[in-house]
Amino acid sequence: MRIALLEDDSHQAELLNLWLEAAGHTSTIFSAGKTLMKNMSHDSFDLLMMDWNLPDVSGDEVLRWVREHVDWRIPVLFVTARDSEEDIVRSLELGADDYMVKPIRRMELLARITALGRRVGGTGAEREVIDVGGLSFDSARRSISRAGEAIDLTGKEFDLALFLVKNTGRILSRGHILESVWGRSSDVNTRTVDTHMSRIRKKLDLNQERGWRLSAIYQHGYRLEHLESEQPAAGQ
């Protein structure tokens, strides 16, 4: 998972980052709430892990901003020293998904992250076949078909299409897409994302006539939407 880690204690942040990286996640550390909010205006993550006590704004203010301006689907995990029942209830009412009180135990933290990822389809056991919008995605065979007819795709085109459909409705930054599809250490640039988007748009017919909308979001990235609810019923 691609995780935004909001923690102003540098030693704590580095320790958590080591745990996350060792478990196969990628982590970006932010030491101030306003820095995170500015970044999330043009970038995207699979999970937000955050402290409450920050040097500029409080954690509940950051959470409120995320829920109002970013995405209700992104899981938010508080990792903080604040342990009162009132604080825990307040964070959950504002839209947090989970709450852990410091000191944190590594295995418990990783298990909670995995559980949160499963809620939005980001981690855990993956379905081998996904049927949506007239397309059938077969993860085991790494193929996509429509009405039983296979669509010719390269390996990366398949990976990109599958990543998009698993995140239908979300705005995904180019950096997020690059890390998730090409890998964090890849030296390809964002133009590669644009090129592959153009290719899968054509090959998969991601247009309104087929019940899809693949949009480029200015200064951010892309969003794939399934328009099934907007399609007229048969016979109308």
Average pLDDT over residues 77-104: 93
Residues 2-119: name the CATH superfamily.
Answer: Response regulator (3.40.50.2300)
pLDDT band at 227; cut points 50, 70, 90: confident
CATH architecture of 129-230: Orthogonal Bundle (1.10)
Q: What's the whole-model pTM score? A: 0.73
CB atoms within 10 A of CB 236: 5
Under the banding of pLDDT at 50, 70 and 90, the label for residue 134 is very high
Residue 126, pLDDT above cutoff 70: no
Contacts of 28 (CB under 8 A, 6+ apart): 2, 3, 4, 5, 39, 45
| Residue 24 Cα to chain centre, angstroms | 15
- Report the 10 Å Cβ neighbour count for 10: 10
Q: How far is CA 73 from CA 48, 118, 171, 191, in A?
A: 11, 12, 11, 27
Q: Which residues pair with 75 in a beta bridge?
A: none
Name the token pair of 55: 């040097």
Regarding predicted confidence, which is higher, 28 or 129? 28
Encoded tokens for 128: 């081998």
Closest CA to 50 of 42, 41, 64: 64
- Residue 177 pLDDT level (bands cut at 50, 70, 90): very high
pLDDT in tens, 48-68: 999 999 999 999 999 999 988
d(CA 113, CA 69): 23
Question: Distance between CA atoms of 166 and 164, rounded to whole angstroms?
Answer: 5
**pLDDT bracket for residue 128 (50, 70, 90):** confident
Domain ranges of the chain: 2-119, 129-230
